[in-house]
Structure formats: structure tokens, C-alpha cells
Amino acid sequence: MSRNKSQRKALAALNYDLFQPEDLSPPAPATLYTTIRQHQSAAPAVSLSTVREVETGLPDTSELYRMFDRFNWLYFDGRLPRVKIEYSTRMSSAGSYTPQRRLIRIGRKYHQLFTDEIADTLKHEMIHIVHFRHGAAFKAEAVRVGASIRAKAHPSLKKPPKYIYTCPNCGREYPRQKRLRMASCGLCTSGRKFDPRYKLKLKLKKRHS
């Protein structure tokens, strides 16, 4: 008799360990603070970068890595090395690839305007891992994988020129982002060769804060 009693106690203890006992106590009164605590305990942790991309309608970086892997196997037989991918808030272009850092940067400003260009930009920069310049080999790969060679233009993406050059003969102005060393006016120069008589002169160098 005592043996059966001890077995029932052991079985009850086992059941208590394996199954969560039902809480029959009345629930606490619903207040604003208890609702907030329940929501915080149930919600998964979300990074600040993920929130930012959700707000802008862009995929987060984890999705960019999944797209990279999918395109790598689909178009490159998985031969491309894994690189770092990140968004850039400063660049106004669609994307860039830096081979020294093995880094693909996706321009957030550009893709906030053209949200459907993410896959196209990523494929374009993946080709740069193999072909750094926009030569014939790059263009052939772009056609093969269905990537654009040039990004779209938008007035809000244009940077103000850092330099303004002028022709000493006709006075035509040439706004540029980079300094010109040996350049002559395209209107006054015959052909494509440099003509020192119409060498462009620096008129204005703008300083940007």
C-alpha cells in the first residue's frame, strides 16, 4: 500500500515538472502600463537599421545578403566571394563597389526615389567584383544577368558643381565635380584633341560645408 502511495507521489512530481500548471488566479486589472509591458515582452528585438529600412520601404541588410546569395548561385554559379553590404546615407549614386574593402554600398537616397531598383543595383555591383570597369566584358555580363549599366537620373540627386571652368574664346561655362588638367572647349576645338588656345580656365571654385 505504501509502495503505491510513493509511486503516485513520484508520478505527480513528474507531471508537475513536465507540464506547466494552469494559473487559475484572476487576471490583473488591465492598465496602460500592463499593456505596454505585455507588448514589450511579446515583441521581438528589432535593430535601429531594420526600423529605418521598414520606414523607407527598403529591404534591410539581412535581406540584401539573401539576395546576394540567390543571385550568386543563379547567375555566377556561386563563385563570387562573400562581401560586406551596407547602405550609405551620404552617396547620391545608386551603388558602388570597393575592391580593397570588398564592400558593396547601396545608396539610400537613390533607392528612396527608385525603390524597385534594389535588385538591379545589387546585380550591377556584383558584376564589379569580377569586372571593375564598365568595359565590354562588364556590359556583356550586364546583358546576361539583366542588370542596367547606368542608373536613372533625378534632379534631387545632382550635386552642386565644385568647379566652374570657362572657355577664353567663346565664354562657355563647364561645371565639374573634379578638377580639369588638360581640357579645351568642345565647341571651339576641332576634333577630340586638346587645343591649348582654348584651354579651359578655372572661373570659380566653390567651397561646401
Q: For residue 150, what pLDDT is reported?
A: 87
> Which pLDDT does position 203 carry in this prediction?
85
Which one-letter DSSP state was computed for residue 151?
Answer: P
Q: Cβ neighbours of residue 199 under 8 Å, at least 6 residues apart? A: 168, 182, 183, 184
pLDDT in tens, the chain (209 residues): 555 566 565 545 544 443 444 444 555 555 545 554 554 544 445 444 444 554 558 999 999 999 999 999 999 999 999 999 999 988 888 999 999 999 999 999 888 989 899 999 999 999 999 999 999 999 999 999 999 998 766 666 667 778 899 999 999 999 887 888 889 998 898 877 889 999 999 987 766 54
Q: In 131-196, which residue ranges form alpha helices assigned H by DSSP?
A: 136-145
Grid coordinates representing 141?
Answer: 555580363
Amino acid 29: pLDDT: 55
Tell me the domains of the chain and their CATH numbers.
48-156 (3.30.2010.10), 159-209 (no CATH)
- Residues contacting residue 198 through CB under 8 Å, at least 6 positions apart: 167, 168, 169, 184, 185, 188, 189
Residue 159 is placed in which grid cell?
550635386
pLDDT of residue 55: 52
Burial class of residue 106 in the structure, from the number of CB atoms within 10 Å of its CB (0-12 exposed, 13-18 middle, 19+ buried) = buried
- The span from the CA of 79 to the CA of 61, in Å, is 21
CA distance 80 to 94: 21
* Structure-block grid coordinates of residue 19: 507540464
pLDDT of residue 79: 96
Bridge-based pairing of strands 84-88 and 103-107 is parallel
Contact 159, 177 (CB under 8 A): yes
Q: Dig out the grid coordinates for 17 from the structure.
A: 515538472
